[in-house]
Amino acid sequence: ETGVTQSPTHLIKTRGQQVTLRCSSQSGHNTVSWYQQALGQGPQFIFQYYREEENGRGNFPPRFSGLQFPNYSSELNVNALELDDSALYLCASSPTPGQGGLDEQYFGPGTRLTVT
Amino acid sequence: SQQGEEDPQALSIQEGENATMNCSYKTSINNLQWYRQNSGRGLVHLILIRSNEREKHSGRLRVTLDTSKKSSSLLITASRAADTASYFCATDATQAGTALIFGKGTTLSVSS
């Protein structure tokens, strides 16, 4: 297992609500990326944070936002939840942001979000 | 959109047999990685191959990369029941910056 932890493990929310997911990166890692994995699909990149700044974003609307803290832990916030937001949310940490080539990513166990 | 596509989508074999999974991608890459996922949990990194490498080994795993065909294969030799999982290839396209782009995965089932 990696040293990346995520909380909570499972979450059930109602459409229109807001949710915050949390991730603690592996010791020594200053970069955190978030991915959304719908059932039966591969993970899709949401965004990356490096040294508390957003450092790349995938094709997700602005209601998906994030934060990275001085200890390099991170939050993913999703506003105005929609049914299609139901998915496994994965965070991954790495020692570098990966310009010129991404190295091994250390994934957490994920948060399963269900929107009803 | 997804950069990589794994083939086959599902694979069932007996313990001791070899399992081969293929991955195709669309754009130029820096690196290609393979990950394993058990029962909808977190992904575990298996192996990374750089764009200037053609083959790499790690234990029972062998990965090949053909950048001219934009394809890669993962071979698991002497499969075990514990290898049952979903396997994903992931690329970091040279134009995509900091994102890993995953395919839809191959679901491997190894029966004893």
Q: What is the pLDDT of residues B67-107, one digit of tens each?
A: 999 999 999 999 999 999 999 999 987 665 678 999 999 99
Residues of B with CB under 8 A from a CB of A: 1-2, 4, 30-31, 33, 35, 40-45, 48, 50, 88, 90, 92, 97-105
Q: Which of B29, B45, B100 has the highest number of chain A CBs within 10 A, making it the mutation to test binding with A?
A: B100
For residue B1, pLDDT over 60 is answered with no
Contact between chains at B31 and A88 (C-beta distance less than 8 A): no
Q: What is the DSSP letter of A47?
A: E
Name B52's Cβ contacts closer than 8 Å, sequence gap at least 6: none
- d(C-alpha A28, C-alpha A108), whole Å: 15
For chain B, how many residues are written? 112
| Residue A41, token pair as written in the block | 């699909």
Overall average pLDDT of the B29-33 stretch: 91
| Contact residues, chain A, for B102 at CB < 8 Å | 35, 42-44
pLDDT at residue B94 in the model: 65
Name B21's Cβ contacts closer than 8 Å, sequence gap at least 6: B6, B7, B8, B11, B73, B74, B87, B89, B106, B108
- d(C-alpha B42, C-alpha A89), whole Å: 9
CA atoms within a 13 Å half-sphere pointing along the CA-CB vector of A41: 16
Considering Cα of A113, then B46, then A54, then A3, what sign does the dihedral take? positive
**Tens place of pLDDT per residue across chain A (116 aa):** 679 999 999 999 999 999 999 999 998 899 999 999 999 999 999 999 998 999 889 999 999 999 999 999 999 999 999 999 999 999 999 987 776 678 899 999 999 999 99
Of B106, B112, B102, the residue nearest B87 (C-alpha)? B106
For residue B2, pLDDT over 60 is answered with no
Distance from CA of A95 to the nearest CA of B (A): 13
Phi and psi (nearest 5°) for A85? -80, -10
